[in-house]
Amino acid sequence: MQTFQVHSRIRPVWQRLSGRPVYIWGAGQQGRGMGRVLERQGVRLQGYLDSSPQLQGRSALGYPISRPETILQPPIPNGKPFVIVASFFFEKDIMARCRAAGLKAGLDFISYKDLKPFDYAIDISGACNLRCLSCPRATRSHRHPPAGFMTPGVFTQVLDKILDEDPLVGNLQLYQWGEPLLNPHLPEILGLANARGLPCALSSNLNSTSHLEPVIAAGPAWFRISVSGTGKDYERTHTGASWAKLLKNMETLAELRARLRPDMKTEVYYHLYRHNRDGSLDEVRRLCERFEFELHPVWAYLISLDDVLEYLEGGELTPQAAEASGMLALGLEQGMALARQEIRKKCLVDRCIHVNWNLTVSNCMMFFYPQDNIAATNFLETPLEEILTTRVKSSLCRRCRAQALHRYCNVYNTEQIEGAAA
Ligand code: SF4
Ligand code: SF4
Taking Cα atoms as reference points, which of 273, 300, 307 lies closest to residue 136?
A: 307
Query: Is the pLDDT at 62 greater than 80, yes or no?
Result: yes
Question: Is the same domain home to 110 and 143?
Answer: no
**Which atom of ligand 1 has the smallest separation from the CA of 303?**
1
Mean pLDDT value across residues 145-158: 98
**Are 310 and 188 within one domain?**
yes
Residue range 281-294: average pLDDT? Answer: 96
| Distance from the Cα of residue 408 to its chain's centroid | 16
Given a contact cutoff of 8 angstroms between Cβ atoms, the answer to whether 101 and 25 are in contact is no
The CA distance from 61 to 63, in Å, is: 6
Pocket of ligand 1 (CB under 6 A): 128, 130-132, 135, 137, 177, 179, 205
pLDDT single digits (tens) 210-222:
899 999 999 999 9
For residue 298, give Cα distances in angstroms to 13, 226, 227, 273, 277: 32, 11, 10, 9, 10
Q: What does the pLDDT read at residue 198?
A: 94
Domain end: 94, 114, 134, which one?
Answer: 114
Q: Whose CA is nearest to atom 5 of ligand 2?
A: 350
The Å distance, Cα 399 to ligand 2 centre, comes to 9
pLDDT, position 88: 78
pLDDT (average), residues 65-83: 83
From the CA of 353, the nearest ligand is 2
For residue 128, how far is its CA from the centre of ligand 1 (angstroms)?
6
Residue 165 has pLDDT above 80, yes or no: yes
Do 141 and 85 share a structural domain? no
Pick the residue whose CA is nearest to atom 8 on ligand 2. Answer: 364
Report the separation in Å between the CA atom of 205 and the middle of ligand 1, taken as the mean of its atom positions: 7
How far apart are alpha carbons 220 and 301 in whole angstroms?
27
Residues 47 and 135 in one domain: no
Span from the CA of 110 to the centroid of ligand 1 (angstroms): 34
Residues 369 and 387 in one domain: yes
For range 162-173, the mean pLDDT? 93
Q: Please tell me the predicted confidence (pLDDT) of residue 77.
A: 62
405 CA to middle of ligand 2, Å?
A: 8
> How does pLDDT run across 3-33, given as a tens digit for each residue?
545 567 777 888 888 888 999 999 988 899 9
Ligand 1 atom closest to residue 203's alpha carbon, by position in its atom list: 2
- Whose atoms come closest to the Cα of 177: which ligand? 1
The contacts of residue 349 (CB under 8 Å, 6+ apart) are 364, 365, 366, 406, 409
Assess whether pLDDT exceeds 70 at residue 394.
Answer: yes
Range of 58's domain? 2-114
Q: Which residue type occupies 130?
A: L
In angstroms, what is the span from residue 140 Cα to ligand 1's centroid?
A: 14
From 176, 351, 363, 400, the mutation candidate for ligand 2 (largest count of ligand atoms within 8 A of CB) is 400
Q: What is the CATH number of the domain that holds 201?
A: 3.20.20.70
Look at the chain and count its residues: 422
> Given this model, what pLDDT does residue 18 score?
83
Residue pLDDT, tens place only, 235-275 = 999 999 999 999 999 999 999 999 999 999 999 999 999 99
Clarify whether residues 138 and 278 are in a common domain: yes
Q: Which helix (H) or strand (E) holds 138?
A: none
Measured in angstroms, how far is the CA atom of residue 365 from the centroid of ligand 2? 8
pTM: 0.90
169 and 49 together in one domain: no
- Cα(307)–Cα(77) distance, rounded to whole angstroms? 51
pLDDT at 418 over 80: no
Across the range 370-395, mean pLDDT stands at 96
Verify whether ligand 2 is closer than 6 Å to residue 364 (CB atom): yes
**Are 364 and 373 a contacting pair, CB within 8 Å?**
yes
**85 & 144 share domain:** no
The residue to mutate among 176, 345, 368, 401, having the most atoms of ligand 2 within 8 angstroms of its beta carbon, is 401
Q: Would you state the pLDDT for residue 73?
A: 80
What does the alpha-carbon distance between residue 36 and residue 43 come to, in Å, rounded to a whole number? 10
What is the residue-wise DSSP string for 279-344? HHHHHHHHHHHHHT-EEEEEE----SHHHHHHHHTT----HHHHHHHHH-SS-HHHHHHHHHHTTT
Q: Are residues 61 and 187 in the same domain?
A: no
405 and 378 within one domain? yes
| Section 359-368 average pLDDT | 97
Same domain membership, residue 132 and residue 11: no
Distances (CA, A) of 322 to 138, 309, 359, 366: 12, 14, 32, 19
CA of 366 to the centre of ligand 2 (A): 7
- Looking at the chain, the whole-number percentage of residues with pLDDT higher than 70 is 95
Q: Find the CATH number of the domain harbouring 102.
A: 3.40.50.720
Q: Final residue of a domain: which of 114, 131, 157? A: 114
Q: How far apart are CA 286 and CA 227, in angstroms?
A: 14
Give the integer Cα–Cα distance in Å for 249 and 179.
15
Calculate how far, in angstroms, residue 404's C-alpha sits from the geometric centre of ligand 2.
10
Domains held by the chain: number: 2
Residue 20 backbone dihedrals phi, psi, to 5 degrees: -105, 150
Looking at residues 344-360, what average pLDDT do you find? Answer: 95
pLDDT of residue 76: 65
Per-residue pLDDT band for 417 (boundaries 50, 70, 90) equals: low
What DSSP string describes 66-115?
A: E-THHHHSSSPTTSS-EEEE--SSSHHHHHHHHHHTTPPBTTTEEEGGGT
Domain boundary among 82, 98, 114: 114
Report whether the peptide linkage leading into residue 117 is cis, meaning its omega lies within 30 degrees of zero. no
With a 6 A CB cut-off, is 350 part of the ligand 2 pocket? yes
Residue 422: the pLDDT is: 43
Ligand 2 pocket member 406 (CB < 6 A): yes
Integer-rounded Cα radius of gyration of the chain: 21
Do 233 and 354 lie in one domain? The reply is: yes
Find the helix packing angle between 395-402 and 305-312, rounded to 10°: 60
pLDDT of residue 335: 94
Tell me the C-alpha to C-alpha distance, in Å, between residue 242 and each of 129, 192, 277, 385. Answer: 11, 32, 20, 44
